[in-house]
Amino acid sequence: MSKPRLERGNAVVGFTATVGLLLIVTVTVMSIGLTWFAREVMNDSVALGARIAGLSGSNESIARQRTQELITQTLPQDFAHDVEVSYGTTWVEVSASAPAPVLGLLLPVTIEVSARAPIE
């Protein structure tokens, strides 16, 4: 008995569906990892920028410039465009926001981080 002709080519369809699904899963995991990495770099950079802004003799432009330098040492220049520094009575807050690396191409996802430090 021979195989029916209706099942001929079934392996190609199964292979294509499996590879497509595997590709979607791989790209999703990579984009989540890249977004997490970018968020952690930005989080560390604004924390150091807030500490610098809280030092005696520091000002808003020094803190903004140093935070942007820290971000761009690891990430592209686009991640350092939106850095804000605000002073309170006893604290300083540095915040930054940037589009997510890969998910930002598919969805409008924004990474937003901020850090506070006391003023010395």
Confidence of residue 27 (pLDDT cuts 50, 70, 90): confident
Please, what's the b/e burial string for 56-78 (b: 16 or more CB within 10 A of its CB; e: otherwise)?
eebeeeebbebbbebbeeebeee
pTM across the whole model:
0.80
Q: Of 103 and 79, which is predicted with more confidence? A: 79
Least confident window among 61-70, 71-80, 98-107: 98-107
Residue 43 pLDDT exceeds 70: yes
Q: Is 56 left (phi over 0), alpha (psi -120 to 50) or beta?
A: beta
62-73: pLDDT as tens digits:
999 999 999 999
- Residue 64: per-residue pLDDT: 94
Sign, Cα dihedral of 48, 50, 51, 52: positive
Interatomic CA distance for residues 98 and 60, integer angstroms? 20
